[in-house]
Structures are given as structure tokens and as C-alpha cells.
Structure 1
Amino acid sequence: MPLALKLALSPLLVMQAVATRRRAPLLPEAAGARAGVVGDGPALRLLIVGDSSGAGVGVATQDLALAGHLTRTLAQLARAQVHWQLIAKSGITTAQALELVQRERPQPADVAVAVLGVNDVIDQVPTRRAVQQRAALADWLRLHTGVRHVVFAPLPPMHRFPLLPQPLRWIAGSDARRHDDAMAQWAAARGDVSHVPIAISLAAECMAADGFHPGEPVYRACGEALARFIATELFKTETSK
């Protein structure tokens, strides 16, 4: 998107952003345990790091959120006993996620999943800096938790968020695509990091009540896709298509 156009629209975008925040209902993070064990077989240690989407905002419990769908599906596909831990907080950027895990000191893990990026777009973090912050997060997790691989979920198609009015929705969508393309390019150059594209529907019935956060259908689709990638690409498990 041309910078001049974005600057020209900036007063309207600020007004729309403020109005959107005021009218959006404040939804809680999903209730339930943020660590557990699921499945049978060889142990597979999984760490999930995220923002509100990682924390399950939009559904009632972690069983219905990303963590529940991801861990159950991974245990089934990898034929493993998944020992999982979730460290997530609504509203955080990638840089703040790194600060969070540094404070929380997660348990050792084999693989980490990061669900971040929307707040980088909202806070207008430059694309290059956002990628650098993802690299810092991945490097810290590799060094301090022992993870062999960090899997990054894609940014959602923000141009389809029902809550956002135009042109704010269009601008946010353009920024999100730019961030996601840069993240995919960065991840492709590293052997210990992956970016997993996921095709999801953001129809109103698939979203949370606020029109911004995922609903259970989106969490299920993302959790299953990430689990399939981990099982088939990282652990080379044969699964039926």
C-alpha cells in the first residue's frame, strides 16, 4: 500500500480504531487449565505461546480453543502422549510475548507453536522489526526451552474481520498480508522455524461475538492444521488424508 495514501487516511483510521475499540465487547480469555497431558504413546512436549488467539478469547474453555484442538489432534496423529503448556496473554505483541516467556520460564519442550502478529499490525510495528522480534522469540525458545522447532501460525486475513469498518479493514488487511509474507520468507530461510499457511473461513458464524476474535470453528481449523503439520512434517507420522 502506498505510504502517502495511508498517511492521507490516518485521521480517519485513528477515529475508526478508537470507535471500534469502544463498541467492541470485552471478551475474557478461555477458562481452564493451561497445561496438561493428552494421549498415549511416546512423550511429545509442546509449548504454545500466543496473544488473545492463543489464550482462547472468543470461546468459553481451553477445550474449545486452539490449545484443546491442537493437543488432541496432535496426540492422535502423532500417536504420542502430548505434554503441553500454554503461555498466552490477550493484547500482547511479539516483543511482549518474548518478555512474557522470559518471566514465566516455560518447561522444556520439543516443539513450540507461536500464535502472534495481529497486535503487531494494530500497534503499527514495522514489518522488518516484527520479523526481528519473531527471530528473537524463536532463538530464546530454542536456547532456553530446548525446542527443536518453532512453528508460527499465519496472521489471519484481517481484511475479512467483521468488526472492522472500511477503510480500516482494508488497511489492516494489507498490513497483515505484508507481515505474513515477510514472516513466511524469513521462516523459509531457517531450518528450525516454519510458517504454516492455513485456509480459514472468517464468516460471521465462525467468529466470536465481538466480530474480531476467532470462534470455535476457526480454533478447530487452525489447531487441526497445526497439529497435522507437526505430526507429518516434523515427526514424519503417516496419517490418512
Structure 2
Amino acid sequence: MLILAKILLGPLLLLQGRRLRKTALRLPEASGPRSGVEIPASYVSASAATAPLRVLVVGDSSAAGVGVEHQEQALAQPLARQLAARSGRPVAWQLVAQSGVNSLEALDLLTRHEIGPATVLVVALGVNDVTSQMSARRYVANLRRLSERLMAQAGVEHIVFSGLPPMHLLPLAPQPLRWYLGRCARKLDGALRAWIGRDPALRYCSLQWTLPHDMALDRFHPGPGQYAQWAVMCAEIVETGFLRHQPVTESV
């Protein structure tokens, strides 16, 4: 059905897409550090032998915090703070993200950064795969390559993939472009969930709860409330899926 829609609506979709790129409000990535250590309030010097949990966040503009002013309001740092509070141990975090990258371009992005060791990886990629018309098969293949690379390079053991947001509700896009993007997003999201379900080291964080009235000023990226909820959900997935089975005195 998507192929037929693309054939029949192709010229209109192309026109609407070009107009959208020209008129869309361009917001900057969130300012602030892209790495750090979050210390839980309960942490004392006697716990110095406790190894920090190391978290790496990789993604596109949403991972980079477009839509909020500072990384303290975005995804990576609040996620680290949530995990520190839940685990009672320090959390060392690193963010590698850039506006506009899709799953293939994210692989190149990794080569241009020094990646520190990480036990947990959180990935936020997919919206630009929709807009660049990446197939579901290639999307999953790129995420698999990214996962395997970071497992080998950084020692990643557990991965949380954020799903696609409900692009059929995207207020910035006119119809029928909004409908078409929504159908493409659901196809990629379904392929992602199917792949994740076959690997116990992978987890899925749904973004289908996001609502248009909570979005940023550009009506495209998450607003502060959505980022906060996203960080909480990822922290819950990491805690319940991984931390309860991981020793806290491993070597640093």
C-alpha cells in the first residue's frame, strides 16, 4: 500500500516535503556538556569501591536535545540522574548525537568521536530514516551494525532502542504527507520491535505516548515534559531489565 501511495501521491508528497524543509523552524541542539558523572544523593565515600554504571546515548536531534535549552532538560543527563538515584551508584554518561542523522549516518558519526567504555547503550534513531525513505530492512541492518560495533568497541552489554514517535500526529506536516510519514514510521517501528524480540540483550522503549501539544516550539521535537518522561521510561527499562541482575562491585 505504501508503494502504491508513493506512486499516486509522489509529486504532492515531494512538494509538501520540500515546502516543509524550507519553512520549518530550526532549533539548536541543547547546550551543555555531553559527558559527565551523576552521583546519587545517598552515595558516600565508603561506597568508593562501587563501580560506576557507564551509559552511552547515541542518536539524532532528539538525542541531542533539540527542543530544550540545556542537556539537563534533554535525554542523556536526566537518564543518568534517574539511574544514579535508582541504583545508588555513580553513573558515567556520554552523548554522541547530531541533528539530521539517520541510522546509516550514525555509523559514520561514531567514527568521528572518541567512545568511552559503556555497559548500557540507549539509541534514538529512526525519524530521519523515515524522512530519507530508508527501508525497514536496511534500518534494522544499520542498527544491528551499530550495536555490534559498540559491543566490540565499548563493551556494551545491554541496549535500549527508542521506537518511532507517532508521526501520523505530527502537527507540522500537512496531509497527506503526515499520513504517509506515519505509515512509514509504523513500518520501521514494527521491524524494530520484531528484531528486538529475538534478542534478550535488547529492549524497546515506545514513544507512541508522545502528544502534539507537549512538543517543542518547532512542533517537531520533544518538549521538556516529553524528554523528562522519556528519561524516566528508559531508566525503568534499564533498571528492571538489566540492573537487577548486574553486580555493583565490578572492576572500573
**Interval of TM-score (by shorter of Structure 1 and Structure 2):** over 0.9
In structure 2, C-alpha distance between the alignment counterparts of 1:226 and 1:66, rounded to whole Å: 9
Partner of 2:47: none
Per the TM alignment, residue 24 of structure 1 is displaced from its structure 2 partner at its CA by 0.8
Partner of 1:215: 223
Partner of 2:39: 39
* Distance 1:144-1:96 versus aligned 2 partners, 3 A rule: same
- 1:58-73 aligned within 5 A: 58-73=67-82
Structure 2 residue corresponding to 1:225, chosen from 217, 220, 233: 233
In structure 2, C-alpha distance between the alignment counterparts of 1:19 and 1:114, rounded to whole Å: 29
Structure 1 residue corresponding to 2:199, chosen from 190, 198, 201: 190
SS in 1 for 2:55: strand
Partner of 2:187: 178
Partner of 1:15: 15
SS in 2 for 1:236: helix
SS in 2 for 1:49: strand
- 4+ runs deviating over 6 angstroms: none
Correspondence 1:160 to 2:176: no
Q: How many percent of aligned residue pairs carry the same amino acid? A: 42
CA-atom RMSD in angstroms: 1.3
Worse overlay, 36-45 or 211-220: 36-45
Output the TM-score relative to the length of structure 2.
0.90
Q: Deviations over 1:156-195 (max 9, x none)?
A: 1111111111111111011101101100110111122222
SS in 1 for 2:112: helix
Alpha carbons 2:2, 2:183 under 8 Å: kept = no
In structure 1, C-alpha distance between the alignment counterparts of 2:33 and 2:209, rounded to whole Å: 26
Unaligned runs of 5+ in 1: none
* Distance 1:134-1:10 versus aligned 2 partners, 3 A rule: same
The residue type equivalent to 1:5 in the other structure is A
Alpha carbons 2:212, 2:219 under 8 Å: kept = no
In structure 1, C-alpha distance between the alignment counterparts of 2:14 and 2:212, rounded to whole Å: 25
SS in 2 for 1:84: strand
Unaligned runs of 5+ in 2: 44-49, 246-252
Partner of 1:234: 242
Q: Select the structure of larger CA radius of gyration.
A: 2
SS in 2 for 1:174: helix
In structure 2, C-alpha distance between the alignment counterparts of 1:112 and 1:63, rounded to whole Å: 19
Per the TM alignment, residue 199 of structure 1 is displaced from its structure 2 partner at its CA by 4.5
SS in 2 for 1:147: coil
* Distance 1:2-1:176 versus aligned 2 partners, 3 A rule: closer
